[in-house]
Amino acid sequence: MCGIVGYTGAKKASAILIEGLKKLEYRGYDSAGVALQHDGRLVINKAAGSVADLEKSLDGNYKSIKVGIGHTRWATHGRPTDENAHPHCSCSEEIAVIHNGIIENHHSLRQWLKEDAGHNFRSETDTEVLAHLVEEYYEGDLLEAVRKATAKVEGSYALVVISSREPGRLICARQDSPLIIGLGEGENIVASDIPALLAHTRKTKVLEDGEFASITPENVDIFNSEGKLLNREIFEITWDIEAAEKGGYDHFMLKEIMEQPAAVKETMRQRINTASGKVDLSELGLNGEELTRLEKIHIVACGTAYHAGLLGKAVIEELAGIPVEVDVASEFRYRNPLLKENQLVVVISQSGETADTLAALRLSRQKGLKVLAITNVVGSSVSREADEVLYTWAGPEIAVASTKAYLTQLIALYLIAIYFGEIRGNLAPETAAKLVKNLRALPEKLKKILSEESLSKLRKYCDHLSSWDSAFFVGRNIDYPVALEGALKLKEISYIHAEAYAAGELKHGPLALIVEGIPVIALITQKAVFEKTLSNIQEVNARGGAVFAITQEGFNDVTKQVESVFSLPPVEDILAPVLAAVPTQLIAYYTALARGSSVDKPRNLAKSVTVE
Ligand code: F6R
């Protein structure tokens, strides 16, 4: 949830930390701080506010300091105040700690440290216990002290610790929260996420759960929990630095929406055999026999990824003939799901670090089920712990509101449905071939939706929508998950209260809320339920609701009924959600702009939810 950077080398540490924290700011926004190691003491600078505020307060000072740690915080324990900002220090101020995660037993540790060991606490955070614990165990070796301290801790952590007594040395520890070490020449850098490293190096070593690292400018040593030195392979990052920056757009979200044709193409690339026109997911170690035996699939995810899962259910059931249950991960993990032989769990997570999704994955594996992960982040916890991984090649997604990752999750699910369907003999080869052809045509259709003409139409509509505090999204069949995702996107970044309903549900309650002019965005892309949805639109019209319909070109009856229509390029109905999602993303974006809200960093939200 929070962002972590540590540096040791020959350059000005504060500048490197600030630059890295800015790249990670999307992970935690309420406060920021650094601890710099200088002349046998630690210089701490931290406050509630943004990284830019922190930068101002450093005011170009500390030029000669070459070692330090920095943090951006998203509050979990304790309010966003100056005192609660990281780094946290030991009583002697010789040890400073930055932490991402939650120390679950911090109450009892705090009590023990205060009452029995005489430590003085300055903040309300769970993290501060770590600084005092390390101090308590320090006998001249920081690594050993961190190892002993973490042995007392229950919970999740990515930690970087420095001591004024050990110049040039950073100590790291990881449990259930990511830490990646970037390797340089005469310098090394550690961070909780890749964008903070890319300006310095592409060579990395990933720390695994239960491991520790001792980092100096010349060496990176990784140890297991018993203190055994490990040999870790170098992992080369292929992401372009530009790919992690805005690339000329006003917001990451818009840039990421615009990247969707490429992201979709990339996710299909190498998975569709151009010669045979067949989907080939042999990269998954699932054999034909296993797939034929499958009796049920459980899809588990959170938020937007859960909405992708709802569409996944429809397409897998339709194309592969396998019954699918979809669960929100935070429910799945606590509801004792019936997991049996011949079932597969599919977890979907852009970040691959979502705590509930990871817990659902672990639960499923404990119960003996195979887990297939759909994720966007190579080396993420989900990718490492799942039995099989299907990566979405969307590239780094920085805006909190997920767009391109979502669209590529849909593509991954279509690929799975077609591949499983063909192997199981549920999908006729000609039907599969037609679907594949139409899938491959999606990037060009997406480009049309992203034309200036479409954008200006949507901008105009959003001027109307932005003056309302409430809106509805409706749709039937596979338009319904798109409606759910459209509503989530709108509420998330424009702060308009948006509700999605299966269109047939309107008359079972929500119709009472339809008043003159209220915005209702109707998804109507499916021929099979076209007339039914049209009747629902008429019900809204009759009560004065202002319907904006998202439909397919050629569905002319909609145009007759509705004052504003956005027509998608014609598409095979089952694939329409990939196109229909895009105008809903743009509606959220332009409405947020019109209302002046913070598009890329909506209030109270963070990109990667690594705590429960
Ligand atoms: C909303 C959004 C979130 C995430 C959810 C799961 O735009 O992005 O709802 O989808 O927090 O995150 P991942 O996919 O990283 O597991």
Q: Distances in Å between the alpha carbon of 221 and those of 143, 232, 236, 286, 330?
A: 11, 9, 18, 36, 36
- CATH fold match for the domains 3-245 and 450-595: no
277 dihedral zone (left: phi>0; alpha: psi -120 to 50; beta): left
Nearest Cα residue to atom 10 of ligand 1: 304
Q: Is 292 helix (H, G, I), strand (E, B) or coil?
A: helix
Q: Give me the pLDDT at residue 426, please.
A: 97
Task: Transcribe 373-389 into DSSP letters.
Answer: EEES-TT-HHHHHSSEE
CA distance 283 to 272: 12
Beta bridge partners of 48: 31
Tokens of 210: 């239960």
Q: How far is the CA of 151 from the centre of ligand 1 (A)?
A: 31
Per-residue pLDDT tens over the stretch 290-324: 999 999 999 999 999 999 999 999 999 999 999 99
Catalytic (active site) residue 2: yes
Q: Give me the pLDDT at residue 137, please.
A: 98
Phi, psi (rounded to 5 degrees) for 582: -65, -50
* Residue to mutate (ligand 1; options 300, 348, 354, 585; most atoms within 8 A of CB): 354
* Residue to mutate (ligand 1; options 26, 304, 374, 377; most atoms within 8 A of CB): 304
Confidence of residue 85 (pLDDT cuts 50, 70, 90): very high
Confidence of residue 450 (pLDDT cuts 50, 70, 90): very high
Which residue in the block uniquely carries the two structure tokens 């090394």? 188
Reduced 3-state DSSP string for 71-107: EEECCCCCCCCCCCCCCEECCCCCEEEEEEEEECCHH
CA distance 396 to 241: 10
Q: How far is the CA of 28 from the centre of ligand 1 (A)?
A: 15
- In the CATH scheme, what is the code of domain 254-440? 3.40.50.10490
Q: Give just the sign of the alpha carbon dihedral 308, 311, 315, 321.
A: positive
Nearest Cα residue to atom 8 of ligand 1: 402
Phi, psi (rounded to 5 degrees) for 409: -65, -40
Is 34:54 a contact under the CB 8 Å cutoff?
yes
DSSP character for 399?
S
The active-site residue out of 23, 370, 491, 607 is: 607
Is 79:173 a contact under the CB 8 Å cutoff?
no
% of the chain at pLDDT higher than 90: 83
Between vectors from CA 563 to CA 562 and to CA 569, what angle results, nearest 5°? 70
Per-residue pLDDT tens over the stretch 219-228: 999 999 999 9
CA distance 104 to 180: 23
Nearest to 448 by CA among 589, 563, 557, 567: 567
Task: Transcribe 162-199 into DSSP letters.
Answer: EETTSTT-EEEEEESS--EEEE-SS-EEEESSGGGTTT
Kindly state if the Cβ of 611 falls inside 6 Å of ligand 1. Answer: no
Q: Are strands 296-301 and 229-230 parallel, antiparallel or unpaired?
A: unpaired
Q: According to DSSP H, which parts of 495-598 are helical?
A: 530-542, 556-561, 576-595
Buried b (16+ CB within 10 A) or exposed e, 266-279: bbbeebbeeeeebb
Kindly state if the Cβ of 409 falls inside 6 Å of ligand 1. Answer: no
Indicate the domain borders of the chain: 3-245, 254-440, 450-595
Q: Distances in Å between the alpha carbon of 143 and those of 148, 212, 222, 573?
A: 9, 8, 11, 58
Average model confidence (pLDDT) for the chain?
Answer: 94
Per-residue pLDDT tens over the stretch 186-213: 999 999 988 899 999 999 999 999 999 9
Nearest Cα residue to atom 9 of ligand 1: 303
Kindly state if the Cβ of 383 falls inside 6 Å of ligand 1. Answer: no
Catalytic (active site) residue 462: no
Beta bridge partners of 100: 158
Sequence-ordered strand ranges (E) for 283-419 = 296-301, 324-328, 343-349, 370-375, 388-391
**Does residue 284 surpass a pLDDT of 90?**
yes
Enumerate helices (H) and strands (E) in the chain, giving the number of each: 20, 27
Q: How far is the CA of 23 from the centre of ligand 1 (A)?
A: 19
Q: How far is the CA of 27 from the centre of ligand 1 (A)?
A: 12
* Residue to mutate (ligand 1; options 609, 610, 611; most atoms within 8 A of CB): 609
Nearest Cα residue to atom 5 of ligand 1: 303
Tokens of 364: 């499923």
Contacts 24+ apart (CB under 8 A), 51-59: 51/18, 51/21, 51/22, 51/25, 52/22, 54/18, 54/21, 55/18, 58/14, 58/18, 58/34
CA quadruple 290, 268, 588, 459: dihedral, nearest 10: -150
Confidence of residue 485 (pLDDT cuts 50, 70, 90): very high
Confidence of residue 606 (pLDDT cuts 50, 70, 90): confident
CA distance 373 to 15: 37
Superfamily name with CATH number, domain 3-245: Aminohydrolase, N-terminal nucleophile (Ntn) domain (3.60.20.10)
Kindly state if the Cβ of 350 falls inside 6 Å of ligand 1. Answer: yes
Kindly state if the Cβ of 351 falls inside 6 Å of ligand 1. Answer: yes
Q: How far is the CA of 26 from the centre of ligand 1 (A)?
A: 13
**Counting beta carbons within 10 angstroms of the beta carbon of residue 502, is it exposed (0 to 12), middle (13 to 18) or buried (19 or more)?**
middle
Which residue type, as a one-letter code, is found at position 145? A
Cα radius of gyration (the chain): 26
Q: How far is the CA of 545 from the centre of ligand 1 (A)?
A: 31
**Does residue 326 surpass a pLDDT of 70?**
yes
CA distance 405 to 263: 8
Which residue type, as a one-letter code, is found at position 62? Y
Q: Is 121 helix (H, G, I), strand (E, B) or coil?
A: coil
Superfamily name with CATH number, domain 450-595: Glucose-6-phosphate isomerase like protein; domain 1 (3.40.50.10490)
Per-residue pLDDT tens over the stretch 356-386: 999 999 999 999 999 999 999 877 899 999 9
**Does residue 166 surpass a pLDDT of 90?**
yes
Kindly state if the Cβ of 349 falls inside 6 Å of ligand 1. Answer: yes
Nearest to 345 by CA among 413, 384, 389, 299: 299
